[in-house]
Amino acid sequence: MAIIITDECINCGACEPECPNTAIYEGADDWRYSDGTSLTGNVVLPNGKDVDADEAQEPVSDELYYIVPDKCTECKGFHEEPQCAAVCPVDCCVPDEDHEETEEELLGKQRFMHPE
Ligand code: SF4
Ligand code: SF4
């Protein structure tokens, strides 16, 4: 499953540069599928969603750092453990029960975003 940032976040920003998928954004910032990935133009995601990778998307949170579930792979394919959770000083990066995925699905997402 993806990782989610809870409302205990203190907006320190430590997690953002650690994410290998550029799935973490500062509150109120727009996000894109293309940020930090190989995705560009119209693409069909592994979950079947049809998206424009270059289009700016609405922030998930206006106040706190947030994680884009479609881009988070729990760091699978890059690291042994979620890097955001490893650096967060208040332990507010936790599994997102609403976005459960198998290891295979997570690795598939990783390969889709970073095929090289
Ligand atoms: S678990 Fe890894 S991929 Fe997911 S948001 Fe945290 S650092 Fe990014
Ligand atoms: S490291 Fe933790 S407290 Fe800091 S911005 Fe990220 S989620 Fe928030």
Transcribe 12-62 into DSSP letters.
--SSGGG-TT--EE-TT--B-TTTTSS--SEEE-TTS-EEETTS-B--S-S
pLDDT at 37 over 80: yes
Atom of ligand 1 nearest to the CA of 68: 5
pLDDT at 1 over 90: no
pLDDT at 116 over 90: no
> Average model confidence (pLDDT) for the chain?
96
Q: Please report where in the chains the tokens 């894109």 appear, as a residue.
A: 32
Ligand 2, pocket residues at CB < 6 Å: 5, 9-15, 65, 87-88, 90, 92-93
Ligand 1, pocket residues at CB < 6 Å: 3, 18-19, 21, 23-24, 67, 72-75, 82-84
* Residue range 42-85, pLDDT digits in tens: 999 999 999 999 999 999 999 999 999 999 999 999 999 999 99
Mean pLDDT across the stretch 29-49?
97
For the chain, give the percent of residues with pLDDT over 90.
94
Rounded to whole angstroms, how far apart are CA atoms 94 and 4?
A: 5
Please give the C-alpha separations between residue 107 and each of 6, 21, 26, 102, 113, in angstroms, as whole numbers.
24, 12, 25, 9, 10
Residue nearest to atom 7 of ligand 1 (CA): 19
Topology classification of domain 1-115: Alpha-Beta Plaits (3.30.70)
Pocket test residue of 3, 4, 7, 11 for ligand 2, highest count of atoms within 8 A of CB:
11
Rounded to whole angstroms, how far apart are CA atoms 72 and 90?
A: 20
pTM of the model: 0.96
pLDDT at 97 over 70: yes
Predicted local distance difference test score (pLDDT) of residue 2: 85
